[in-house]
């Protein structure tokens, strides 16, 4: 037999049958007109879903068919005024591409006492549309009574809401066979797609196959409650993208799930929940979704589970092939099955040593521990002791893990790996590591004593924010340490942003925090911040050019204890105003800046790092003028270039973007008139160096401005200078009585078109802008 796939799974493609268009009869409000090919119903209660259908164009005809039974095909959209009841009758509806809209806050159909409803759609795009909220159960269809049956092969049931359960279909009894069509965008607190809730002694049977779909519903695609007997069979179709669960079963229900094809996927939580007492049988199919199991799972004829099965409490796994089992059940419930990965789910206590060995045997050599999803492990009841020769992986799963008191620890004599499949986890339990600790995730805030090896082997790294003591026989091979580290052993690599006290050896690593090298300490390599390295009599490597100990010049053998380790990264202050900045160090890593309230950016930048500054105007009224650079270093740059890139010198640098009014962007040095301050080279090409610009413009302004007047730095200062020179004329606009001189000056300057109305009052102004404004005011007199 060919194996099927369940892409949840259960992925099987099915063809959708297209029904031929039948001969039609027409039923209207004024009576019945039969066409030549019409077949009269044999009796009032009969009707048939085969043969000729009666064409129905209005509510009267559809109501008559529901009351008396019949086989109808819609020839127009119909809006219901109440619920249509199929009571011990047979009704077949071909939507024929049209829409039935339910009455406000009422369901569309009731099926009872052996009644039968068939919904199909010979054309496609036929819809049964919800309208408001139905009080209680069953938004679109409510079915009860022994022998009642619902068949859906086409059309879409959409937009129905039930206040309690069964947004699409609610079953108390009977049989539901869905081979096509869709139930979508329905809403209910549970069972938003389909709810099966048989009364005691009743049986509900639901079968999905072929192209049937239940999708985009809130709170479960299919929900099965405890009471009577329920059976759900799926050989095809799709349950997709539903909130809550794809398929949910309640505890202690007499429920059987048979899967041999189809798809259950993209559920908000688990794709299937198999509760206590529920039987899941998978026959010759592959299941790839996530299952929560508290019942019994049986796989037959090459059944394979390629997703994760979370086996909780009393869950049993009888047979099948599994990729990953996460198990919280009692021992032995899944010994007979084949699996690739086994994870033990734990609560508030760690497994003892013998259990760890047993888990390791089940897990093919790696005892993986993971916290149950509903557990808050902030009070672990015992100490985790990992024996020599045992490998354990602890998944912190985004949780805050702590002991119930300070005596609870993690003592590792074997191989311990920390990971975090969630985010933001912390481990606040002290660790005594005598073996190997692979730090691959989470944050350790507890104290760590290392007599073995600490390293990282994964893509993520554990952050050690608590204190770490590396004993004389301990090795730190790699890792990320933001807390204090006392090294009495060997540090061979790692990233250290906290304070480090070295009594042992440091061979490599990146140290951005303070490092104190004590008398017994030996540093032979690594990257250090020179300003944070203190040597208290320990050994540092010689700098390039220093004498070696065996040189004949013995007087120069001894070097100052405070000399830094090479290579030392030297950093210098960079301040950027009124602009954006990006800096990459020698390793290509971005340097982070601190931003002040006024937008000024500051950082310590490595020498020779690539610095790029860029000014972006907040409005079209302002344009970039040039860069104002303040540094003792010579920067060979074009101050008119934006963006500007340069190498960070071994000096402090302050750089600010100077701007001007957009209307004078092209005037350049021409506003200086005949003042001979700017050199000209070649065929009239202006040579504008920053120093020449500053000296020339300052000399000119100091010449023309009133004695003692400061050169304006922003829009307000410029406006007040120009307004004062003009004799402080009253603005044309009506000003408040308490208006300040600055407000009056700004208003007048904008009215006089000396300053753009779009330019902020605190925006910087360029020297050209000041000169141009001053010349225009002089012309206005």
490-504, 550-564, 616-630, 714-728: least confidently modelled range: 550-564
More confident residue, 705 or 467: 467
Q: What is the mean pLDDT of residues 187-209?
A: 95
For residues 733-772, b (16+ Cβ closer than 10 Å) or e, as one string? eeeeeeeeeebbbbbbbbebebbbeebeeebbbbbbbbbb
pLDDT of residue 6 exceeding 80, the answer is no
Provide the residue count of the chain.
781
Q: What is the C-alpha separation between 326 and 309, in angstroms, rounded? A: 6
pLDDT at 521: 95
pLDDT of residue 320 exceeding 60, the answer is yes
Q: What is the mean pLDDT of residues 644-671?
A: 73
pLDDT of residue 683 exceeding 50, the answer is no
Site of tokens 């939507």: 95
Q: What is the C-alpha separation between 68 and 85, in angstroms, rounded? A: 10
pLDDT of residue 41 exceeding 70, the answer is no
pLDDT of residue 37 exceeding 50, the answer is no
Q: What is the mean pLDDT of residues 197-202?
A: 90
pLDDT at 684: 31
pLDDT of residue 2 exceeding 70, the answer is no
pLDDT of residue 199 exceeding 80, the answer is yes
pLDDT at 290: 92
pLDDT of residue 331 exceeding 90, the answer is no
The per-residue pLDDT for range 627-648, each reduced to its tens digit, is: 888 888 878 888 889 999 999 9
In three-state secondary structure terms, 748 is helix
pLDDT at 662: 66
The per-residue pLDDT for range 237-262, each reduced to its tens digit, is: 999 999 999 999 988 778 999 999 99
Q: What is the mean pLDDT of residues 2-14?
A: 40
Q: For residue 431, give the nearest of 531, 417, 160, 422 by alpha carbon.
A: 417
At 20, the pLDDT band (50, 70, 90 cuts) reads: very low
At 330, the pLDDT band (50, 70, 90 cuts) reads: low
98-112, 200-214, 757-771: least confidently modelled range: 757-771
More confident residue, 225 or 50: 225
**Domain extent listing, the chain:** 6-311, 369-547, 570-664, 687-780
Q: What is the C-alpha separation between 51 and 38, in angstroms, rounded? A: 9
Q: What is the C-alpha separation between 658 and 668, in angstroms, rounded? A: 14
At 671, the pLDDT band (50, 70, 90 cuts) reads: very low
If you write DSSP's letter for every residue of 337-400 in order, what string do you get? SEEEEEEEEE-SS---HHHHHHHHHHTTT-EEEEE-TT---SSB-S-EEE-TT-EEEEE-TT-E
Fold of 570-664: Immunoglobulin-like (2.60.40)
Site of tokens 């109305």: 757
Share of the chain above pLDDT 90, in %: 55
More confident residue, 564 or 730: 730
Cα 287 to Cα 4, 8, 259, 291, 388: the distances in Å are: 10, 6, 9, 9, 38
6-20, 472-486, 564-578: least confidently modelled range: 6-20
**What residues contact residue 749 under an 8 Å CB cut-off, 6+ apart?**
718, 719, 722, 723, 755, 773
What phi-psi label fits residue 352: left (phi over 0), alpha (psi between -120 and 50 degrees) or beta? beta
Site of tokens 């119903």: 41
Q: What is the C-alpha separation between 350 and 379, in angstroms, rounded? A: 11
Q: Mean pLDDT in the chain?
A: 83
pLDDT at 361: 84
CB neighbours (10 Å) of residue 567?
A: 13
pLDDT of residue 8 exceeding 50, the answer is no
**What residues contact residue 520 under an 8 Å CB cut-off, 6+ apart?**
503, 504, 538
Q: What is the mean pLDDT of residues 539-553?
A: 57
CA angle 474/475/481 to nearest 5° reads 110
More confident residue, 683 or 773: 773
């Amino acid at each position: 037999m060919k194996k099927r796939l369940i892409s949840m799974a259960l992925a099987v493609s099915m063809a959708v049958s297209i029904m031929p268009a039948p001969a039609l009869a027409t039923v209207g409000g004024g009576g019945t007109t039969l066409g030549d090919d019409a077949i009269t119903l044999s009796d009032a209660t009969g009707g048939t879903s085969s043969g000729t259908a009666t064409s129905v164009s209005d509510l009267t005809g559809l109501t008559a068919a529901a009351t008396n039974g019949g086989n109808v095909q819609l020839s127009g959209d119909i809006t219901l005024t109440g619920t249509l009841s199929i009571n011990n009758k047979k009704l077949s509806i071909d939507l024929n591409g049209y829409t039935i809209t339910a009455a406000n806050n009422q369901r569309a159909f009731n099926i009872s006492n052996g009644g039968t409803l068939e919904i199909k759609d010979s054309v496609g795009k036929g819809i049964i549309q919800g309208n408001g909220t139905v009080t209680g159960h069953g938004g679109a269809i409510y079915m009860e009574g022994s022998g009642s049956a619902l068949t859906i092969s086409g059309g879409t049931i959409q937009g129905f809401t039930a206040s309690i359960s069964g947004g699409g279909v609610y079953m108390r009894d009977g049989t539901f066979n869905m081979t096509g069509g869709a139930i979508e965008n329905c809403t209910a607190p549970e069972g938003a797609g389909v709810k099966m809730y048989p009364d005691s002694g009743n049986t509900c049977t639901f079968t999905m196959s072929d192209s049937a779909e239940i999708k985009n519903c809130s709170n479960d695609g299919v929900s099965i409650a405890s009471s009577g007997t329920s059976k759900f069979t799926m050989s095809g179709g799709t349950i997709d993208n539903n909130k809550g669960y794809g398929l949910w079963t309640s505890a202690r229900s007499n429920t059987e799930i048979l899967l041999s094809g189809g798809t259950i996927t993209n559920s908000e939580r688990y794709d299937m929940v198999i509760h206590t007492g529920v039987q899941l049988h998978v026959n010759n199919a592959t299941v790839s979704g996530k299952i929560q199991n508290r019942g019994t799972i049986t796989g037959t004829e090459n059944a394979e589970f390629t997703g994760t099965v979370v086996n909780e409490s009393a869950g049993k796994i009888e047979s099948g092939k599994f990729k990953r089992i996460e198990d919280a059940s009692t021992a032995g419930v899944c010994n007979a099955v084949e699996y690739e990965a086994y994870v033990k789910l734990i609560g508030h206590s760690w497994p003892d040593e013998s259990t760890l060995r047993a888990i390791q045997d089940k897990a093919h050599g790696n005892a993986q521990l993971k916290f149950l999803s509903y557990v808050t492990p902030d009070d672990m009841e015992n100490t985790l002791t990992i024996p020599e020769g045992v490998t354990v992986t602890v998944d912190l799963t985004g949780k805050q893990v702590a002991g119930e008191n300070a005596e609870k620890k993690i003592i590792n004599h074997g191989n311990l790996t920390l990971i975090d499949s969630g985010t933001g986890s912390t481990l606040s339990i002290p660790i005594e590591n005598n073996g190997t600790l692979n730090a691959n995730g989470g944050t350790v805030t507890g104290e760590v004593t290392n007599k073995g090896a600490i390293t990282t082997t994964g893509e993520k790294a554990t952050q050690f924010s608590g204190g770490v003591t590396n004993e004389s026989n301990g090795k730190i091979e790699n890792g990320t340490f933001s807390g204090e580290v006392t090294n009495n052993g060997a540090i061979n690599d790692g990233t250290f942003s906290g304070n480090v006290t070295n009594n042992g050896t440091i061979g490599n690593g990146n140290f951005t925090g303070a490092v104190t090298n004590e008398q017994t300490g030996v540093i032979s390599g690594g990257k250090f911040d020179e300003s944070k390295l203190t040597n208290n009599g320990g050994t540092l490597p010689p700098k390039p050019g220093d004498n070696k100990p065996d040189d004949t010049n013995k007087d120069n053998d001894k070097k100052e204890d405070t000399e830094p380790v090479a290579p030392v990264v030297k950093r210098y202050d960079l301040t950027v105003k009124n602009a954006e900045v990006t800096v990459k160090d020698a390793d290509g890593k971005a340097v982070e800046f601190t931003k002040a309230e006024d937008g000024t950016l500051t950082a310590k930048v490595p020498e020779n790092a690539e610095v790029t500054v860029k000014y972006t105007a907040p409005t079209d009224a302002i344009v970039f003028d040039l860069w104002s650079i303040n540094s003792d270093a010579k920067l060979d740059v074009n101050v008119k270039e934006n963006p500007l890139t340069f190498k960070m010198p071994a000096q402090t640098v302050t750089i600010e973007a100077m701007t001007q009014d957009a209307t004078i962007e092209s005037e350049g040095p021409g506003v200086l008139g005949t003042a001979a301050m700017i050199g000209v080279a070649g065929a009239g090409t202006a040579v504008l160096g920053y120093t020449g610009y500053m000296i020339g413009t300052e000399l000119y302004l100091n010449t023309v401005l009133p004695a003692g007047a400061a050169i304006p730095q922003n829009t307000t200062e410029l406006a007040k200078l120009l307004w004062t020179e003009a004799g402080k004329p009253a603005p044309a606009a009506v000003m408040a009585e308490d208006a300040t001189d600055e407000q009056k000056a700004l208003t007048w300057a904008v009215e006089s078109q000396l300053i753009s109305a779009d330019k902020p009052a605190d925006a910087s102004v360029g020297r050209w802008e000041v000169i141009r404004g001053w010349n225009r005011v002089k012309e206005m007199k």
